[in-house]
Structure 1
Amino acid sequence: MNKPAATALFHPRNRHQGRYDFAALTAAHPPLADKVRPNGYGELSVDFADPHAVLLLNQALLKLFYNLNWQLPEGYLTPPVPGRADYIHALADLLASDNGGVLPRDLDVMDIGCGANCIYPLIGHAEYGWRFTGTDISADAVNAASQIVASNPGLQRAIRLRRQKQESAIFAGVVHKNERYHAVLCNPLFHGSAADAAAGSQRKVRNLGLSKQAPLNFGGQHNELWCDGSERAFTGRMIDESVALGDRIVWFTSLVSRKEHLPELRDRLKAQDAYQVRIVGMAQGQKQSRFIAWTFYRPPRARSCWHANRCSGKKKAAAEIRSGFIFLRCLRRRAAGTHADGRSAD
Structure 2
Amino acid sequence: MSTKMNSKSAFKSPNYDDEVNFKELALQDPDFADIINRNKGRFSFQDPSHVMQLTKSILKRDFRLEMKLPDDRLCPPVPNRWAYVRWIQDLVDSTSKDFGKTPQAERDVIGIDVGVGASCIYPLLGCASRLNWKFFGTDIDKKSYEYALHNVTSNNLDYRIHLLNTSALHGLLPLDALKIDTADFTMCNPPFFESRQDMNAGLSEKGKNPNAVCTGHEVEMITEGGEVEYVGRMITESHGLGKRVQWYTSLLGKQSTLPVIVKRLEELKCHNWAVGLLLPHATTRRWVIGWSWDDLRPANHVARPAEGGPAKELLPPPTCYSIDTSKQNEEAISDVMNKTLSILPLYWSWNSATRSGIGWTNGDVWSRAARRKRKAQEMESKSLHETKPSTCPDDGTIVLAFRVTVLDGYAEVHSLKGSDKVLWESFCAMLKRQMAPTGGQLAGKIETGPKKRVQVLQRQP
Task: Tell me which interval the TM-score lies in, with the shorter structure as reference length.
Answer: 0.7 to 0.9
Where does residue 132 of structure 1 map in the other structure? Answer: 135
Q: In the TM superposition, what is the alpha-carbon distance from 1:199 to its structure 2 partner?
A: 2.7
Distance 1:286 1:222 in 2: 24
Distance 2:34 2:260 in 1: 47
Distance 2:395 2:43 in 1: 50
The answer to which structure, 1 or 2, has the higher relative contact order (CA under 8 A, 6+ apart) is 1
**TM-score computed with the length of structure 1 as normaliser:** 0.74
Q: Deviations over 1:195-249 (max 9, x none)?
A: 2122333444x4269xxxxxx7302211111111111110000000001211210
CA contact (8 A) 1:13 1:89 kept: no
Amino acid at match of 1:19: E
Where does residue 88 of structure 1 map in the other structure? Answer: 85
Cα gap change, 1:50 to 1:321, in 2 (>3 Å): farther
Where does residue 49 of structure 2 map in the other structure? Answer: 52
Which segment is superposed worse, 173-182 or 187-196?
A: 173-182
Q: Which runs of 5+ in 2 are unaligned?
A: 1-11, 298-392, 399-418, 420-461
Q: In the TM superposition, what is the alpha-carbon distance from 1:322 to its structure 2 partner?
A: 8.5
CA contact (8 A) 1:247 1:322 kept: no
Q: Deviations over 1:54-75 (max 9, x none)?
A: 0011100000011111010121
CA contact (8 A) 1:163 1:174 kept: no
CA contact (8 A) 1:132 1:158 kept: yes
Q: In the TM superposition, what is the alpha-carbon distance from 1:28 to its structure 2 partner?
A: 4.7
SS in 1 for 2:58: helix
Where does residue 106 of structure 1 map in the other structure? Answer: 108
Q: In the TM superposition, what is the alpha-carbon distance from 1:24 to its structure 2 partner?
A: 4.6
CA contact (8 A) 1:29 1:60 kept: yes
CA contact (8 A) 1:191 1:225 kept: yes
Distance 1:17 1:259 in 2: 21
CA contact (8 A) 1:76 1:220 kept: yes
CA contact (8 A) 2:192 2:253 kept: yes
Amino acid at match of 2:197: A
Distance 2:201 2:170 in 1: 26
Distance 1:250 1:221 in 2: 32
CA contact (8 A) 1:236 1:268 kept: yes
CA contact (8 A) 1:162 1:174 kept: no
Where does residue 197 of structure 2 map in the other structure? Answer: 195
Q: Deviations over 1:4-61 (max 9, x none)?
A: xxxxxxxx9543342323355335542222322799xx9x651000000100111000
SS in 1 for 2:235: helix
Cα gap change, 1:221 to 1:288, in 2 (>3 Å): closer
CA contact (8 A) 1:255 1:292 kept: yes
Where does residue 294 of structure 2 map in the other structure? Answer: 297
SS in 1 for 2:119: coil
Where does residue 270 of structure 2 map in the other structure? Answer: 274
Which segment is superposed worse, 253-262 or 45-54?
A: 253-262
Cα gap change, 1:287 to 1:281, in 2 (>3 Å): same
Distance 1:108 1:175 in 2: 16
Distance 1:88 1:284 in 2: 18
Q: In the TM superposition, what is the alpha-carbon distance from 1:271 to its structure 2 partner?
A: 2.0
Q: Please say if 1:246 is aligned against 2:242.
A: yes
Q: In the TM superposition, what is the alpha-carbon distance from 1:96 to its structure 2 partner?
A: 1.3
Q: Please say if 1:142 is aligned against 2:145.
A: yes
Distance 2:209 2:93 in 1: 39
Q: In the TM superposition, what is the alpha-carbon distance from 1:156 to its structure 2 partner?
A: 0.8
Where does residue 120 of structure 1 map in the other structure? Answer: 122
Matches within 5 A, 1:1-346: 13-36=13-36, 46-99=43-96, 100=99, 103-104=104-105, 105-129=107-131, 130-153=133-156, 155-166=157-168, 169-172=171-174, 175-204=177-206, 206-207=207-208, 217-282=213-278, 283=280, 285-299=282-296, 320=394
Distance 1:257 1:140 in 2: 24
CA contact (8 A) 2:251 2:289 kept: yes
Distance 1:132 1:178 in 2: 11
CA contact (8 A) 2:209 2:283 kept: no
Where does residue 310 of structure 1 map in the other structure? Answer: none
Cα gap change, 1:321 to 1:152, in 2 (>3 Å): farther
**TM-score computed with the length of structure 2 as normaliser:** 0.57
RMSD: 3.0
CA contact (8 A) 1:276 1:295 kept: yes
Cα gap change, 1:322 to 1:137, in 2 (>3 Å): farther
CA contact (8 A) 1:14 1:82 kept: no
Which segment is superposed worse, 233-242 or 258-267?
A: 258-267
User: Computing the radius of gyration over CA atoms, which structure comes out larger, 1 or 2?
Assistant: 2
Amino acid at match of 1:257: G
Question: 1 or 2, which has the higher helix percentage?
Answer: 1
CA contact (8 A) 1:75 1:220 kept: yes
Distance 1:193 1:321 in 2: 48
Cα gap change, 1:253 to 1:275, in 2 (>3 Å): same
Count of residues in Structure 1 that have an aligned counterpart in Structure 2 = 286
Distance 1:284 1:224 in 2: 26
